[in-house]
Amino acid sequence: MNILDNKNVFITGGTGSFGKKFVSNALASQLKSITVFSRDELKQYEMRQQFSDSRLNFLLGDVRDYERVYRCLHNVDLVVHAAAMKQVPASEINPTEAIRTNVIGAENLINACIELEVEKVIALSSDKAANPSNLYGATKLCSDKLFIYANKLSSNRRTKFSVVRYGNVLGSRGSVIPFFVKQSKAEFIPITDERMTRFWISLNQGVGFVLKCLESMEGGEIFIPKIPSMGILDVAESIAPGVPTKIVGVRPGEKLHEIMITEDDARNTLEFKNHYEIISSPDRYENATKKESFVGRVPEGFTYTSFNNPIRLNQEGFKKLLSDDNLI
């Protein structure tokens, strides 16, 4: 049985790239209903034209508004929290706005879900939340901590909270992919630093991973998929072969390499066949060992970065990921 079958599902930020792909996959299940909660009426209108299914509902609202969130969550079983202010430069120059959406919004959703005894809540995070170097990453780290701690707040109720953390999503709004495609017709492609590496995941893979985590979560885990890395120069060459590149310098808050598991996190990190889990307490270890895909604890000093990642993408593999989301 699909985890969504016979459930009322609620997705915040549901008109975004992830949200639309998630809704498309969700409607293929036997769910009772799925509600898209977001603040842009135009995007909701456009999405309504794309899907014609009586189980799909749209509600306008903002995660910053607790009362509205609370009213919209009645009779909901499962929540996917995808709403966020995620543009790094925008967050740097609008810090209070990023905090209100990514931190206060997360707290509002948590409190409403506990009060209404939602069954499961899974929040989308970012590799930028690990050892953050910019405000966006810092707000997502705060959000992650709130969702993990929420399991203690709901200990006498049935609501469980977990987090999914992964890298750059191909084709999402703000992704470098559409920018590189546009620049492929220009004289050169601007590159911040030729040494830069990034984790990559397709929208299809991201949605599939979230669904698997939603099914297996016990509450309190940060799920991290094993996904490939690639250097930025290879990304540019894959999208715009033969177009010259120009080094323009690293932007404020930008890292050369992304990290998803820090050395400090490693003390509480378990490895599975296709993913890692940062667990919130040692008592989670015994349950993990019973899972068929369990590998063991990661070694002392372990880190998981886009630079030391053993899974590497070549240009052919990258193009396959792009085709997975119909981006080429």
108-118, pLDDT tens digit by residue? Answer: 999 999 999 99
Q: Which long-range contacts (CB under 8 A, 24 or more apart) does 236-239 make?
A: 236/180, 236/189, 236/191, 237/315, 238/315, 238/318, 238/319, 238/322, 239/177, 239/180, 239/181, 239/184, 239/322
180, pLDDT greater than 90: no
**pLDDT for 170:** 83
Condensed to tens digits (0 to 9), the pLDDT of residues 4-18 reads 999 999 999 999 999
Kindly give the pairing relationship between strand 222-225 and strand 294-297: unpaired
- Between 223 and 157, residue with greater pLDDT: 223
56-59: long-range pairs with CB below 8 Å, 24+: 56/23, 56/27, 57/33, 59/35
Q: How confident is the model at residue 252 (pLDDT cuts 50, 70, 90)?
A: confident
Mean pLDDT to the nearest integer, 211-236: 94
- Residue 279's pLDDT is what? 94
Higher pLDDT, residue 1 or 206: 206
Give per-residue pLDDT as tens, 39-73: 999 999 999 999 989 999 999 999 999 999 999 99
Residues designated as active site: 128
Angle between helices 176-183 and 232-239 (to 10 degrees): 50
Hey, how many other C-beta atoms are within 10 angstroms of the C-beta on 201? 22
Mean pLDDT score of the chain = 92
* 98 neighbors 126 (Cβ within 8 angstroms): no
pLDDT grade, residue 1 (50/70/90)?
low
Taking Cα atoms as reference points, which of 260, 251, 256, 253 lies closest to residue 135?
Answer: 253
**Distance separating alpha carbons of residues 12 and 202, to the nearest angstrom:** 20
Handedness of CA 118, 100, 260, 296 (dihedral sign): negative
307 pLDDT band (50/70/90 cuts)? very high
- Of the candidates 12, 16, 58, the residue with the CA atom closest to the CA atom of residue 33: 58
Q: Give mean pLDDT, residues 206-213.
A: 96
Q: Tokens for 167?
A: 């890298």
User: pLDDT by residue (tens digit) across 140-155?
Assistant: 999 999 999 999 998 7
Q: How far apart are CA 199 and CA 197, in angstroms?
A: 7
What average pLDDT does range 311-327 have in this prediction?
Answer: 81
* Among the listed residues 252, 123, 237, 140, the one whose alpha carbon sits nearest the alpha carbon of residue 188: 237
First CA to last CA distance, the chain = 33
Rg over CA atoms, the chain: 19
As to burial, measured by CB atoms within 10 angstroms (0-12 exposed, 13-18 middle, 19+ buried), residue 216 is middle
Average pLDDT over residues 277-296: 87
Whether 164 and 121 have beta carbons less than 8 Å apart is answered as no
Q: For the structural domain made of 8-324, what CATH number should be given?
A: 3.40.50.720
pLDDT of residue 164: 98
What does the angle CA 217 – CA 72 – CA 103 come to, to the nearest 5 degrees? Answer: 60
The whole-number pLDDT of residue 156 equals 74
